[in-house]
Amino acid sequence: MRVAMISMHTSPLQQPGVGDAGGMNVYVLSTATHLARRGIQVDVYTRATRPSQGEIVEVEKNLRVINIVAGPYEGVEKEELPTQLTAFAGGVWQFVRCHNLGYDLIHSHYWLSGQVGWLLRDLFDIPFVHTAHTLAAVKNTYRAAEDTPESEARRICEQQLVDNADLLVVNTEEEAQDLVTYYDATKAKIAVVAPGADTELFSPGDGRATELARRQLGIPLPAKVVAFIGRLQTFKGPQVLIKAVAELVKRDPERNMRVLICGGASGQSTNPHEYRDLACELGVERRIRFLDPRPPEELVTIYRAADVVAVPSYNETFGLVAIEAQASGTPVVAARTGGLPIAVAEGETGLLVEGHEATAWADALEEILDDDEGRQRMARQAVHHAATFSWDASAEHLAELYQEVIDAEVTPSKNRDALGGGK
């Protein structure tokens, strides 16, 4: 089997936490890698952002990343990428023709890639699978009041993909229901594939792992440590954590607490200094350290150094950070939204918080930080919970779905109702 994956707006090889790179990058690279190890040939098409990348990157056996030139290398924000959809689709088509490639299936990730996949499906006459990762209607429903809404144009493009894809792959049952509720999707053509985590890399380590991690990061050993890992944007909620920390310090000025915020600014409207400014404004700048985005092999040090990882997002289709933290033996305090109630076993591996008010988040953090025995119990249970999510299982399920779509011969020239996808 040969699969063309499309991840136009961000390369799976890009550092998560930088610009628009995040959990989706981890998902695409991890699933593609494990599919390749099953003998499936995977080419991931992405937009070239610098000439030094080269056109073809051989990641490992059966897995390549193809960098397609579409527009200038730099200076094109994600919001401007719709202007390059034609150039990108043309670049993919030209590459396929020049290299005489034949694919059995297209799998696109995110709505921009979906628009390209939809076009190429008709050109190649092969099945088209789409994963949204985030949806405009859902983001607008859950966004913070001060956050910029997603455009109606994006919502319309997503509706087109829901109507025309042969199969929609989602992370959770809740995401499947969102497609039905907000986009009138047909349930029969939605498949739930749970993401995984690299549980070999993200692990608790030995008995001195926390001590070593804190020494490496220069954190006092007796301090209680809260970590946030993700893009610095309102939707991810770093401001929620900062305000909650200020509330905790107000309650107990002598609290021995440190906060690590690891990530980079994301989006045109994001001021890279706004979260540092907020910490200064609230008087907690000495408690909070901002770290640049780090590769996975360094992120594990942050997870191990923390007593708890906070995931205050306004919505997450799943929440890979929550799973990675638990795999590393660290409990999680997360928002009760999207797929996070699945990623976190409430009361067993962490706590879930209703809403995003600073007092509610301070209450939850205070509860878990002050209960050493309960927190340590959660840490042990977190490792076992995270072990139930694996990328190999995700790839196995995807491979089965791919084969079903191919066997059903659901192509533009045939009967798309075979998967219940007819309207």
Annotated binding site for 1D-myo-inositol 3-phosphate: 9, 20-25, 78, 110, 134, 154
Output the known binding site for Mg(2+): 303-304, 306, 330
Coil, helix or strand at residue 352: strand
Count CB-CB contacts under 10 A for residue 42: 24
Please compute Rg for the chain using Cα positions: 22
To the nearest 10°, the Cα dihedral for 204, 210, 214, 220? Answer: 150
> Across 224-365, where does the E strand assignment appear?
224-229, 257-262, 288-291, 308-311, 332-335, 350-353
Six-digit token string for 109: 């990730």
DSSP H or E stretch at residue 97? helix 85-98
Q: Which amino acid is at 93?
A: W
Task: Identify whether the C-beta of residue 31 lies closer than 8 Å to the C-beta of residue 85.
Answer: no
Pairwise CA distance, residues 93 & 49, whole Å: 19
Task: Identify whether the C-beta of residue 179 lies closer than 8 Å to the C-beta of residue 351.
Answer: no
Pairwise CA distance, residues 105 & 128, whole Å: 6
Output the known binding site for UDP-N-acetyl-alpha-D-glucosamine: 15-16, 23, 231, 236, 294, 316, 324
Output the known binding site: 9, 15-16, 20-25, 78, 110, 134, 154, 231, 236, 294, 303-304, 306, 316, 324, 330
Q: Provide φ and ψ at 340, rounded to 5°.
A: -65, -35
Pairwise CA distance, residues 84 & 76, whole Å: 9
